[in-house]
């Protein structure tokens, strides 16, 4: 018996959008960490079950939309017996500020974790101000 407290799972948040979807299937909000370095803003999103090719990243007028689709064909002849989580597509949108250099956005997907690097525009990077004597 370990001393550390057991981790609790948080249920997946279902996506609530203003627009309705024309195709059936539920969308969930992927867990995201956002952190900032001197040069860029980095997002890491967890989308287990999504392959690199099923990832769709769109940028439209300062709105960044990330969508990951699940390929459910492997579940075809499987009957659920005990379930703790639901399986569905992932989608999340962010509004980017003008500080981001939109042409330099890069993405990497490893083991179900998407790392999105949003480089800061030149003007937004921290600058040292020299003091004149």
Residues at the contact surface with another protein, assessed by CB under 8 A? 2, 4, 6-10, 23-26, 31-38, 42, 44, 46-51, 70, 72, 75-88, 110-113
Q: How far apart are CA 48 and CA 89, in angstroms?
A: 10
Q: Closest distance between another protein and the C-beta of residue 61, in Å?
A: 22
CB-based contacts of 41: which residues, under 8 Å, 6+ apart?
A: 34, 35, 100, 117, 118, 120
Distance of CA 39 to the CA centre of its chain: 20
CB of 38 to another protein, least distance (A): 7
Least distance (Å) between residue 83 CB and another protein: 5
Name the minimum Å distance from CB 104 to another protein.
Answer: 18
Q: How far apart are CA 37 and CA 99, in angstroms?
A: 13
DSSP 61: T
Q: Quick one: 4 or 133, whose CB is closer to another protein?
A: 4
> Smallest distance from the beta carbon of 132 to another protein, in angstroms?
29
Distance in angstroms (rounded) separating the CA atoms of residues 123 and 127: 9
Q: Which is closer to another protein, CB of 58 or CB of 108?
A: 108
Q: Which is nearer to another protein, 111 or 131 (CB)?
A: 111
List beta partners, residue 89: 27
Nearer to another protein, 8 or 60 (CB): 8
Residues 6+ apart with CB under 8 A from 10: none
Residue among 81 and 131 whose Cβ is closer to another protein: 81
């Amino acid at each position: 018996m370990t001393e550390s407290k057991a981790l609790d799972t948080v249920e997946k948040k279902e996506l609530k959008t203003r627009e309705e979807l024309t195709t059936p299937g539920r969308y969930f909000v992927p867990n995201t960490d956002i952190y900032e370095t001197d040069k860029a803003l980095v997002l890491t999103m967890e989308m287990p079950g999504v392959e690199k090719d099923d990832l769709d990243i769109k940028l439209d007028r300062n709105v960044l939309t990330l969508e990951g689709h699940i390929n459910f064909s492997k579940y075809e002849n499987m009957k659920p017996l005990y379930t703790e989580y639901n399986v569905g597509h992932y989608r999340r949108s962010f509004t980017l500020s003008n500080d981001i250099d939109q042409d330099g956005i890069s993405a990497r997907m490893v083991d179900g974790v998407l790392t999105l690097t949003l480089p800061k525009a030149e003007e937004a990077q921290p600058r040292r101000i020299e003091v004149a004597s």
